[in-house]
Amino acid sequence: MSRKLSTGRAINEALAIAMESDPDVILLGEDVVGGGTLEADGVDEMGGVVGTTKGLVKRFGRDRVLDTPISEMGLLGTAVGAAATGLRPVAELMFMDFLGVCLDPLLNQAAKLRYMFGGKVRIPLTVRTLCGAGMQAAAQHSQSLYWITAGIPGLKTVIPSNPADAKGLLLAAIRDDNPVVFCEPKLILNQVGEVPEGDYEVPIGVAHLARQGGDVSLVGFGGTVPIALRAADLLAAEGIQADVLDLRSLAPLDEEAILTTLEKTGSLVVVDEATPRCGIASDVAALCVDRGFDSLNTPVRRVTAPHAPVPFSAVLEQAYLPSAERVVETVRALG
């Protein structure tokens, strides 16, 4: 059975299932409760800045849903220490941009303790974080910085493109014995879709062929999957059939799925809402050239944001983000 839920509610449901099934799962972060006087009449909790964790404190109590001070480095470091000693924390980094003040617990602690200790410790930590543009939140609250975490050995990074995957990927992330960064793209936060009931996992490291074509491969992830799907619709009207591959997981990367669709179509366009340098799109392009060169009938093209901060004005922000139209133009220009 399934029913329609937003991505935010699907994430909430995954958190509840994870907490119900494992008493070691705790949530901590800024405002994950978000309300100090829940006992008073007419007072409710916020449940996070966009309400994703709302309702969980009433069900699981304040020992398991912990409001932290606005101390991203301290809360992530604390979560790493808790994970290393027997809890299975889900920490919330409200916006991925805040990695700027708290990279060390991920870069030098969570990602490396197991390796440095010769395999003697597990860090079953999940870091949930809002990423990407689309809410006019401008340069410091709109970045897609998954290219940083995906490039760090020892971390996993996943990013859902729809509500059903958000639920299943988050459950898989929480139950993984490694630190997993779970990106919540703003572009899909309010997207509503069919979400299966009950407990299920979407495996980490496995891409999903979201649409079958055959003429060209469109590779996206997170918020660019709906863009690629719309582009595929537009292209179909012109007689071009596109494969749309949803990466779902940026680290580990399902290289075989990318090479398989490339082999089938001979042309590949990768769509990424992050900036173009040193990013996932470049990584996918490099993979195609490195391991899929013989399959290439056309150059690999990247559709990304420009090398600029995310602007505020809605008209600028829309122009900044990849669009289905840009994807279509790029495919047409492949010749």
Active site (catalytic) residues? 141
For residues 335 and 326, give the distance between their C-alpha atoms in angstroms, rounded to a whole number.
Answer: 15
Q: How far is CA 231 from the centre of its chain?
A: 21
Scanning 31-39, 114-122, 162-170, 272-280 for contacts with other proteins by CB under 8 A, the matching segment is 114-122
Residue 82 or 172: the one with the smaller Cβ distance to other proteins is: 82
Residues 140-169 that bind other proteins (CB under 8 A): 153-154, 156
Scanning 13-21, 60-68, 132-140, 228-236 for contacts with other proteins by CB under 8 A, the matching segment is 60-68
Give the per-residue contact string, 1-40, with other proteins (x = CB under 8 A; - = no): -------------------------x--------------
Is residue 80 involved in binding other proteins (CB under 8 A)? yes
Residues 166-205 that bind other proteins (CB under 8 A): 177-178
* 119, 198, 239, 335: which one binds other proteins (CB under 8 A): 119
Residue with tokens 């509503």: 192
Residue 111 or 331: the one with the smaller Cβ distance to other proteins is: 111
Is residue 54 involved in binding other proteins (CB under 8 A)? no
Give the per-residue contact string, 224-263, with other proteins (x = CB under 8 A; - = no): ----------------------------------------
7 and 189 in contact (C-beta within 8 Å)? yes
Q: Which residues contact 248 (CB under 8 A, 6 or more apart)?
A: 158, 159, 160, 161, 165, 169, 202, 204, 206, 207, 208, 221, 254
How near is the Cβ of 325 to other proteins at its closest, in Å?
39
Q: How many residues bind other proteins (CB under 8 A)?
A: 45
How near is the Cβ of 202 to other proteins at its closest, in Å?
18
* 36, 43, 59, 73: which one binds other proteins (CB under 8 A): 73
164 and 194 in contact (C-beta within 8 Å)? yes
Please report, for residues 24, 103, 104, the alpha-carbon distance to residue 73 in angstroms, rounded to integers and kept in the order given. 22, 7, 8
Is residue 61 involved in binding other proteins (CB under 8 A)? no
Compute φ and ψ for 180, nearest 5 degrees.
Answer: -125, 125
Could you count the other beta carbons within 10 Å of the beta carbon of residue 192? 15
DSSP, residue by residue, 232-286: HHHHHHTT--EEEEE--EEETT-HHHHHHHHHHHS-EEEE-SS-STTSHHHHHHH
29 and 57 in contact (C-beta within 8 Å)? no
Report the amino acid identity of residue 296.
L
Nearest in space to 131 (alpha carbons), one of 123, 118, 141: 141
Is residue 64 involved in binding other proteins (CB under 8 A)? yes
Q: Are strands 301-303 and 180-185 parallel, antiparallel or unpaired?
A: unpaired
Is residue 293 involved in binding other proteins (CB under 8 A)? no
Residues engaged in binding other proteins (CB under 8 A)? 26, 63-64, 66, 68-69, 71, 73-87, 89, 101, 104-105, 108-109, 112-123, 153-154, 156, 177-178
